Structure 1
Amino acid sequence: MRAVLVVNPKATTTSERSRDVLVRALRSEVDLSVRYTRRRGHAMDLAREAAEEGVDLVVTLGGDGTVNEVVNGLMAAEPPTIRTGGSPAERLPALATVPGGSTNVFARALGLPREWPEGTSMILEGLRLGRSRTIGLGRADDRYFTFCAGFGLDAAVIHRVEQARRRGRVSTPALYLRSTVNQYFLGSDRRHPTISLERPGEVTEGDLATVIIQNTAPWTYLGEREINPNPAASFDLGLDVLAMRQLRVASTARTVTQFFSHTPNPRGRQVLQLHDLAEFTLVASRPQAFQLDGDYLGERKKVRFASVPAALRVIC
């Protein structure tokens, strides 16, 4: 089996020595080449090239941003015609994700351990046993995502966190909490919701303040704790949506508390929850912060979302 390991050398939980250990472990099972990212977006190019070379497996070492780039590279590839099938998952190389970032939502949603040594062991066992599963992806306009997207408040929080990290701050749960509080009270127009959700054949849902989209559950983690706005979301179904109509202090605090419950089930007059959607479009009267898989992608006034079933085969 031919494989390519795409390494983000800035992965926060690994060192050069641990990467060497990982490479030796993988080479015990596959014919491996190693490629390092040099800039944002480079993992996308490396993954597309690997797929078009006809490799059987692409392994990532990095955080959720690296995984997202690799997935988008794979989905954009034109693999050799010797690999045929009706779905992208049958034509493309399989994906294995070694957790190397600060949160690793995608890997943990697949059932992989949080730490990279244990995650590597599980992947090696999956390779030996031929264990894999096929998952669906989400697509926002022309970009794919693995576990979540956000339009509004949560994306603006991620933007604040990224700005803090560029100033040398370490990504921690405390940084996310401070950024959320600051964005909510100081950076949001909480009184004038501007987002509408449009679905084919359905009445438009208007006056939404912020929207969370999930392709699986949980949405993210705060340390070891799952945060679950849409607990029924699944890689095997369409997209789930939770939108808040208002961002008033009392109703927002109540809804966020429900996210953290051991049996999360967000409800209330200010909550819109939709399950297993094939497609929908978000439209805003003024630009909104936008994120995919925890990466801030700027501001948009309109984004079309779609579920892409049976998109990718993953080793887990």
Structure 2
Amino acid sequence: MRALLVVNPAATTTSARVRDVISTALASDLKLEVATTEYRGHARDLARRAVEGGETELVVSLGGDGTVNEIVNGLLHRGPDPDSLPQLAVVPGGSTNVFARALGLPNDAVEATGALLDALRAGSSRTVGLGLVSGTPGTEDEGVPDRWFTFCAGLGFDAGVVGRVEQQRELGKRSTHALYLRQVARQFIADPHRRHGTITLERPDEEPVEGLTTAIVCNTAPWTYLGNRPVYASPEASFDTALDLLGIHKMSALSGSRYAAQLLRSTAERGPRGKHTLALHDLTDFTLQSQAALPFQVDGDHLGLRMSATFTGVRRALRVIV
């Protein structure tokens, strides 16, 4: 099998020596080409060229969730076609690795490489659904490029936290769970919309739902991890269904603390709940509209401010070795 290994040298949990060991192990079973990313979006460009070249059968990501997201967007730049596109494989090298862990892979890069080789030898794979977010027609976001996502997207409070974490990392801070929790607290204090939500959910043939302060869109469960603890915003979300949504109408100090505690105690059977929450399962098409420009994120990548976003849940979008 002809394969492309896309390596992010800035991945937080692998060293150059470990990356060499992994590429050597993969080359023992694959006709392997190795490419190292050099700029933001490079992994997307490499995956796109692999599709256009027509010879690559497998693209392997060695990096974090951001690298996976770029590769997926490169593979699907002409749309989903799991029977003809190169397959995807993931070796986790980031700080959280939500997509890889949601697939059931070990969080250690070397162990995950062993699991990947076993799956290749056994011919084991699965087809997963993905989320697609587009600019909303008739709004100022209409011309925003489409973006595929593997595990989550968010508009409002959640995305504001992601943006704050990215700012701290640009200042040289390490991506740790303590850093994330500090930014949650700072976003809570600074968010001007947490008491009076500006987001409206619109769905075909349904009444709009107004006044959301944040909206978290999940393509799988868990939503994220704190260390080894999975955190479930939408426990029913799955790679085999469309998209799930968790919306919160307002967050006072009391209710915000309650939702935070519920997330920390969440399980695969139970997520956040309460009179100010909205939990929806298996949504194929919907739009989020905001009266104010709000932070927006996709797969943990902060994309700036948006006033609208249209979402599509695409079943059977991509084949993954697992």
TM-score, L = length of structure 1? 0.95
2:264 matches 1:290: no
For residues 72-128 of structure 1, what are the alpha-carbon distances to aligned partners after superposition, in whole Å with 9 as ceiling and x for unaligned? 0000158xxxxxxxx611111100000000000000000001110111000000000
Equivalent position amino acid for 2:168 in 1: A
Contact 2:89/2:320 (8 A) holds in 1: yes
2:2 matches 1:2: yes
2: CA distance between counterparts of 1:264 and 1:185?
27
SS in 2 for 1:241: strand
2:153 matches 1:152: no
Equivalent position amino acid for 1:160 in 2: R
SS in 1 for 2:76: helix
Equivalent position amino acid for 1:154 in 2: D
Deviation, structure 1 residue 294: 0.4
2:115 matches 1:111: no
Partner residue in 2 for 1:315: 321
Contact 1:48/1:77 (8 A) holds in 2: no
Contact 1:52/1:77 (8 A) holds in 2: no
Partner residue in 1 for 2:140: none
Partner residue in 2 for 1:51: 51
Partner residue in 2 for 1:63: 64
SS in 2 for 1:119: helix
Contact 2:196/2:249 (8 A) holds in 1: no
SS in 2 for 1:185: helix
2:175 matches 1:171: yes
Q: How does 1:1-316 map to 2 (within 5 A)?
A: 1-54=1-54, 55-77=56-78, 88-141=81-134, 142-261=146-265, 262=267, 263-316=269-322
Question: Equivalent pairs: percent with the same residue?
Answer: 55
Equivalent position amino acid for 2:69 in 1: N
Aligned residues: 308
Equivalent position amino acid for 1:196 in 2: T
SS in 2 for 1:170: coil
Equivalent position amino acid for 1:282 in 2: L
Partner residue in 2 for 1:81: none
Equivalent position amino acid for 1:75 in 2: L
Moved over 6 A (4+): none
Contact 2:157/2:191 (8 A) holds in 1: no
1: CA distance between counterparts of 2:220 and 2:7?
25
SS in 1 for 2:312: strand
Contact 1:51/1:77 (8 A) holds in 2: no
Deviation, structure 1 residue 188: 3.6
For residues 104-163 of structure 1, what are the alpha-carbon distances to aligned partners after superposition, in whole Å with 9 as ceiling and x for unaligned? 000000000111011100000000000000000000111100000010011110110000
5+ residue gaps, structure 1, are 79-86
Distance 1:219 1:298, change over 3 A: same
2: CA distance between counterparts of 1:265 and 1:77?
35
2: CA distance between counterparts of 1:169 and 1:187?
22
Query: Which one is further off, 136-145 or 11-20?
Result: 11-20
Equivalent position amino acid for 2:131 in 1: G
Deviation, structure 1 residue 15: 1.3
Deviation, structure 1 residue 191: 2.5
Equivalent position amino acid for 1:58 in 2: V
5+ residue gaps, structure 2, are 135-145
Distance 1:77 1:5, change over 3 A: farther
Equivalent position amino acid for 1:56 in 2: E
1: CA distance between counterparts of 2:120 and 2:217?
31
2: CA distance between counterparts of 1:49 and 1:95?
14
SS in 2 for 1:98: strand
Partner residue in 1 for 2:142: none
For residues 163-184 of structure 1, what are the alpha-carbon distances to aligned partners after superposition, in whole Å with 9 as ceiling and x for unaligned? 0001110000100000000110
2: CA distance between counterparts of 1:215 and 1:189?
25
1: CA distance between counterparts of 2:52 and 2:117?
24
TM-score, L = length of structure 2? 0.94
Deviation, structure 1 residue 16: 1.3
SS in 2 for 1:257: helix
